[in-house]
Amino acid sequence: MTNEASLDQAINLNERFAALDTVERLRLLCREVGGRGVFTTSFGIEDQALTHLIFTADLPIEVITLDTGRLFPETYAVWSETEGHYSRRIRAVYPRHEGLEALIADQGIDGFYLSVPARHACCDVRKVEPLKRALAGASVWITGLRAGQSASRSAIDFVSFDAAHNCIKANPLLDWDRGDLVAFVEREHIPVNALHAKGYPSIGCAPCTRAIKPGEPERAGRWWWENEDQKECGLHVDESGRFVRSAPVAAEGPFR
């Protein structure tokens, strides 16, 4: 399929997503895009909800995580609990040791605090390059992005074409409200990261994530020493730092 055809398909799927519930969105992707579907989880509440839906509906979607080597103990705990809860393995992709050793030799173990470029270099080695390997040959990349997570994420699409990874990218939870998400997870008895109860609505690497203060945006605790408009790791933005879009997002959508 050409990039133009993939873009047309992304626009078509994007328009159809708003009227569907989340499982129907996932089934639509499997049915109409086909090929290898990959969901990347970081074990936050959004990703736990999607993991639950994928596993309980027995959908042909691989669940993969990027283990950066700097995750919280609580994240590893919920990873183990999730595998036990669903009797399924979650595949891990790790940084290449050569790149990681070179990074630390250059900037030190915590050099990402020194500058934005240094932090981006760390994210590139620990997350961006492993993601490329995780998505190699994939037709669909599924994420847990929600519009309510940050101002920059409020304008992204349900579905777009990700040219960097040559695949359809889908955000089935885009229109979910956090309150509805919490209620869903509680109702379905889904394992959750213990850090959420400690004031961490968004969870990444331990050195780069803090609890948020009352009234702060959900992602304020990520790379808190940087400006708000720089708070992406490179997984979801293009080289200019912008989210890739295919078509306008519907003004309203169903909370599922």
**In a domain? residue 82:** yes
- Domain assignment present for residue 177? The answer is yes
Question: Closest by alpha carbon to 151, among 208, 219, 200?
Answer: 219
- Averaged pLDDT for residues 230-238: 49
Single-letter amino acid code for the residue at 20: L
- Bridge partner list, 93: 66
Residue numbers annotated as active site:
233
Is residue 118 situated within a structural domain? no
The pLDDT of residue 256 is above 60: no
Q: Specify the number of domains making up the chain.
A: 1
Q: Is residue 7 part of a domain?
A: yes
Residue 105 lies in a domain: no
CA R_g for the chain: 17
At residue 195, the pLDDT reads 98
The pLDDT, as a whole number, for residue 219 is: 86
What single-letter DSSP state applies at residue 157?
-
Q: Percent of the chain at pLDDT above 70?
A: 86
Residue spans of alpha helices (H) in 108-161: 116-123, 129-134
- 23 falls within a domain: yes
Helix (H) or strand (E) holding 64: strand 61-66
Mean of all residue pLDDT scores within the chain: 89
Q: What is the domain extent for residue 78?
A: 3-96+134-230
Q: How far apart are CA 36 and CA 14, in angstroms?
A: 19
Tens of pLDDT along 174-203? 999 999 999 999 999 999 999 999 999 999
Residue 204 lies in a domain: yes
Please say if the pLDDT value at position 234 is more than 70: no
For 62-103, the pLDDT digits (tens) are 999 999 999 999 999 999 999 999 999 999 999 999 999 999
* Residue 78 forms part of a structural domain: yes
What integer pLDDT is reported at residue 248 of this predicted model?
Answer: 38
What confidence tens digit (pLDDT) does each residue in 138-161 have?
999 999 999 877 666 677 899 999
> What is the CATH classification number for the domain harbouring 216?
3.40.50.620
